[in-house]
């Protein structure tokens, strides 16, 4: 069609001028050349413009002979690129890829099918890529469906310096010009394209399942995947032809032009496969059995959990309402026990009873920055939106995730935040997980694709339990995956997505360097007034630990407000901060002051939230020591060291000290400090020398 394309060939010639030329019988470049020659005789004083016009026509003819598609792409508006393959049929390639998922960040290309020069071919992951590279190098035009966002970016990620043809036509957008909207299968149905019966129910999400089945030795699954890909390409050829017909009619292309245009689709290709190009490909190619790892990208034993007792993690696939059961899982070592639970009260009771190291909840556990409520009447709704930073990042990576505050998620988010706050108030660390993203990263199918293959993948990962023998709800299976995310967290093989003002979403990171996570020690010290917290913490400082304490942050905050710092005022200000900013807010302020590497000792834990926070930040590197002493001895120490008018009883009864006693049960180690400092130091040296300063189950 290029030889009858006149727009943009000469300066000032657009679609309207082209239509006028056609109306006056000027259809081809030769017709235009004759017309310009006649104009030269009428306007002999403009020889320069005449020569420029002839030069443009000459360049177009030369480019046409050389099949220089890039030249015409530079000449035409992108909307008219469809004219290029109509003139370069033998240099046009139709291409479609299959992948393990939608994320270029985590998923891989499994199959690339293409139709070029009347022949179908396919690259299978792990095979010879040279035929694909050769075809793409020779082609001048590539046609895809949604290839701008999917196929071509995936190919560039999968193959180094892959030679993408200079002209790309994305049928998704070409079809829209023809008033055909929707996905490829929807458009095919509108246009009357029929697939074989065995392919009618196969959707895009089935392709990863077929690949997983092939990896496990099912060669028929690979054949079906190839057949599915083949008909995707036939459908693309059909859509291109039909869209061009509609566009040309709408553009009033002269009848004798568009009726003689070539077509890419051949009706015979829809007959029995035995007569089609697919059968030729399958017969010609000896399809290989899969070679390589067949299971998940990583297994439980490769996470190297260093834990003196069996790691216990509770995973919860939370529902938005107590009326609908949530999936609940206790993962103890490798053994997963699941159930469904309705109410918050039951969830809390079941979880507290297990005394887990960690709770992993599949639910948003924080609001987007700036938001103060989950509901749309929040005054910050329009300014701060409904999506958190972690969700934006996952979207950017190609992982489908719901914004935390769309209407259907609001009650779930509120429930998740409420439960997490309660668990933390009991000293139980909580992380937010997203099973779907974890499954993608681990290389196992999601439940939507195949619940049975998801269970199989979890088993291959190394989890054991009734789910491998019995049919469980999908909520329970996702709860297992949530608990598995907790294992990734504990091992250090994780990525925390989010910002400083939002709680992090934890996802597996198979490439994470765990050296710093595994080798450092973070000590938190709690105890009643005058039990010896600071004495012990300062001793750790002499052993090379970076020393810090909560009161340092409070002192800085008071100083910035011009407040005098005394023990009574420090206690009172700390209580105000706890009630206003919240204890987690104070913990975050303290965290900002800490070095990124090396051992640390934190003096003055007073709330169960403190314990939960530091486990969430440092995982098994955090060890909590609670120091005890009798009240009589503590009173004596207090009176000997304090010049404050506040009595021991008043200091002990202050609200900031009320929850200290509960930290005794949460601590990983309890030391009694009723003898000399040397005895305390000796007990501490014993802990250090026996490498017991790791999180343990009490």
One-character DSSP codes across 405-419: TSGGGHHHHHHHHHH
Digit-coded pLDDT (tens) for 581-634: 889 999 999 999 999 999 999 999 999 999 999 999 999 999 999 999 999 999
In 3D space, the residue among 494, 506, 507, 498 whose CA is nearest the CA of residue 388 turns out to be: 498
Task: Count other C-beta atoms under 10 Å from residue 674's C-beta.
Answer: 14
Q: Which residues pair with 430 in a beta bridge?
A: 359
Average pLDDT over residues 314-338: 97
Per-residue pLDDT, averaged over 540-547, amounts to 95
**Residue in 499, 495, 463 with CA at minimum distance from that of residue 478:** 463
pLDDT single digits (tens) 201-221:
888 778 999 999 999 889 999
pLDDT reading at 578 higher than 90: no
SS3 355: coil
pLDDT attached to residue 694:
47
Lowest mean pLDDT of 112-126, 347-361, 389-403, 560-574, name the range. Answer: 560-574
- The reported pLDDT for the residue numbered 501 is 83
Residue 453 scores a pLDDT above 80: yes
pLDDT tens-digit series, residues 21-31: 888 888 888 88
Assigned fold of 300-508? Nucleotidyltransferase; domain 5 (3.30.420)
* Predicted confidence (pLDDT) at residue 115 exceeds the cutoff of 70: yes
pLDDT of residue 478: 96
Assess whether pLDDT exceeds 60 at residue 114: yes
Q: Which residues contact 366 (CB under 8 A, 6 or more apart)?
A: 388, 404, 417, 432, 498, 502, 503
CATH of domain 83-284: 3.30.420.10
The overall longest dimension of the chain from CA atoms, in Å, is 119
The pLDDT, as a whole number, for residue 379 is 94
Comparing CA positions, the residue from 629, 624, 628, 610 lying closest to residue 687 is 624
Confidence of residue 190 (pLDDT cuts 50, 70, 90): very high
Q: What is the pLDDT of residue 697?
A: 38
Residue 38 has pLDDT above 80, yes or no: no
Q: Residue 494 above 80 pLDDT?
A: yes
pLDDT confidence of residue 611: 98
When pLDDT is averaged across residues 476-483 and rounded to a whole number, the result is 97
Domain boundaries, the chain: 2-66, 83-284, 300-508, 520-689
Provide the CATH topology of domain 520-689: Rossmann fold (3.40.50)
| Lowest mean pLDDT segment, chosen from 6-15, 182-191, 684-693 | 684-693
Q: What percentage of the chain carries pLDDT values higher than 70?
A: 95
pLDDT-derived band at 135 (thresholds 50, 70, 90) equals very high
Same fold, 83-284 and 300-508: yes
Chain center to CA of 668 = 35
For the ranges 6-20, 328-342, 506-520, which has the lowest average pLDDT?
6-20
How confident is the model at residue 381, as a pLDDT? Answer: 95
Say what the pLDDT of residue 609 is.
96
550 sits in which H/E element: helix 550-560
Distance of CA 553 to the CA centre of its chain: 35
Two structure tokens written together for 499: 């910002």
Tell me if 290 sits within 8 A of 124, measured CB to CB: no
Q: Report how far residue 201's alpha carbon sits from residue 183's, in angstroms, rounded to the nearest whole number.
A: 15
Confidence of residue 291 (pLDDT cuts 50, 70, 90): confident
What is the rounded average pLDDT of the residues 467-472? 93
pTM score? 0.87
Indicate the SS3 state at residue 168: strand
Q: Is it the case that residue 45 has pLDDT exceeding 60?
A: no
With beta carbons less than 8 A apart as the criterion, state whether 167 and 142 touch: yes
CA–CA gap between residue 485 and residue 434 (Å, rounded): 8
Residue 43 has pLDDT above 80, yes or no: no
Strands (E), 37-76: none
- Number of neighbouring beta carbons within 10 Å of residue 545: 20
- Does pLDDT of 93 surpass 90? yes
pLDDT reported for residue 49: 66
Q: Are strands 335-341 and 326-332 parallel, antiparallel or unpaired?
A: antiparallel
Confidence band for 462, pLDDT divided at 50, 70 and 90: very high
Out of 10-14, 333-337, 394-398, which region has the weakest mean confidence (pLDDT)? 10-14
């Amino acid at each position: 069609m290029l030889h009858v394309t006149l727009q943009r060939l000469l300066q000032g010639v657009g679609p309207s001028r082209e239509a006028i030329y056609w109306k006056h019988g000027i259809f081809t470049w030769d017709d235009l050349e004759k017309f310009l020659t006649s104009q030269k005789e009428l306007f002999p004083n403009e020889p320069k413009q005449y020569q420029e016009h002839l030069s443009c026509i000459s360049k177009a003819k030369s480019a046409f002979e050389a099949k220089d598609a890039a030249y015409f792409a530079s000449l035409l508006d992108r909307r008219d690129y469809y004219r290029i393959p109509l003139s370069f049929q033998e240099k046009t390639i139709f291409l479609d890829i299959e992948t393990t998922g939608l994320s270029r960040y985590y998923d891989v290309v499994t199959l690339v099918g293409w139709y070029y020069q009347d022949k179908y071919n396919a690259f299978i992951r792990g095979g010879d890529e040279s035929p694909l590279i050769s075809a793409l190098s020779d082609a001048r035009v590539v046609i895809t469906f949604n290839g701008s966002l999917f196929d071509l970016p995936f190919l560039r990620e999968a193959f180094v310096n892959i030679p993408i043809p200079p002209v790309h036509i994305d049928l998704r957008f070409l079809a829209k010009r023809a008033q055909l909207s929707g996905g490829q299968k929807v458009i095919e149905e509108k246009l009357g394209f029929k697939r074989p019966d065995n392919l009618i129910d196969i959707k895009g999400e089935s392709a990863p399942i077929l690949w997983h089945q092939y990896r496990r030795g099912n060669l028929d699954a690979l054949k079906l995947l190839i057949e599915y890909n083949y008909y995707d390409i036939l459908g693309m050829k059909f859509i291109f032809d039909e869209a061009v017909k509609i566009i040309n009619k709408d553009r009033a292309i002269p009848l004798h032009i568009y009726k003689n245009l070539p077509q890419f689709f051949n009706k015979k290709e829809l007959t029995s496969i035995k007569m089609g190009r697919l059968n030729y490909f399958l017969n010609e190619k000896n399809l290989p059995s899969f070679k390589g790892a067949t299971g998940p990208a990583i297994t439980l034993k490769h996470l190297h959990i260093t834990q003196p007792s069996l790691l216990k993690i509770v995973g919860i696939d939370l529902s938005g309402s107590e009326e609908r059961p949530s999936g609940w899982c206790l993962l103890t070592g490798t053994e997963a026990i699941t159930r469904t639970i309705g109410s918050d009260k039951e969830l809390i009771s079941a979880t507290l009873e297990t005394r887990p190291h960690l709770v992993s909840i599949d639910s948003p556990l924080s609001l987007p920055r700036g938001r103060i409520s989950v509901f749309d009447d929040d005054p910050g709704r329009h300014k701060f939106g409904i999506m958190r930073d972690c969700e934006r990042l996952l979207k950017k990576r190609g992982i489908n995730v719901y914004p935390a505050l769309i209407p259907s998620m609001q009650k779930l988010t509120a429930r998740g935040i409420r439960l997490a706050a309660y668990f933390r108030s009991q000293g139980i660390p909580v992380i937010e997980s997203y099973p779907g993203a974890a499954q993608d990263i681990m290389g196992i199918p999601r439940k939507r694709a195949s619940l049975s293959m998801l269970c199989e993948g979890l088993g291959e990962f190394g989890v054991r339990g009734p789910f491998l023998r019995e049919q469980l709800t999908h909520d329970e299976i996702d709860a297992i995956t949530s608990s598995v995310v907790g294992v990734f967290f504990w091992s250090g093989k994780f990525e925390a997505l989010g910002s400083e003002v939002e709680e992090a979403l934890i996802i597996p990171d198979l490439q994470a360097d765990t050296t710093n996570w595994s080798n450092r020690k973070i000590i938190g010290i709690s105890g009643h007034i005058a039990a010896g917290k600071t004495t012990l913490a300062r001793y750790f400082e002499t052993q090379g630990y970076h020393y810090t304490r909560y009161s340092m942050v409070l002192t800085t905050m008071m100083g910035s407000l011009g407040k005098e710092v005394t023990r009574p005022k420090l206690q009172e200000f700390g209580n105000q901060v706890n009630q206003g900013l919240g204890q987690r807010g104070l913990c975050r302020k303290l965290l900002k002051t800490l070095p990124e590497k090396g051992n640390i000792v934190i003096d003055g834990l007073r709330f169960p939230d403190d314990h939960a926070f530091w486990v969430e930040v440092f995982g098994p590197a955090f060890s909590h020591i609670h120091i005890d002493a009798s009240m009589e001895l503590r009173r004596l120490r207090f009176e000997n060291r304090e010049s404050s008018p506040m009595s021991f009883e008043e200091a002990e009864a202050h609200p900031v000290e009320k929850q200290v006693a509960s930290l005794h049960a949460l601590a990983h180690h309890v030391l009694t400090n009723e003898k000399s400092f040397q005895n305390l130091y000796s007990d501490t040296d014993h802990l250090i020398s026996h490498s017991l300063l790791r999180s343990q189950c009490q």
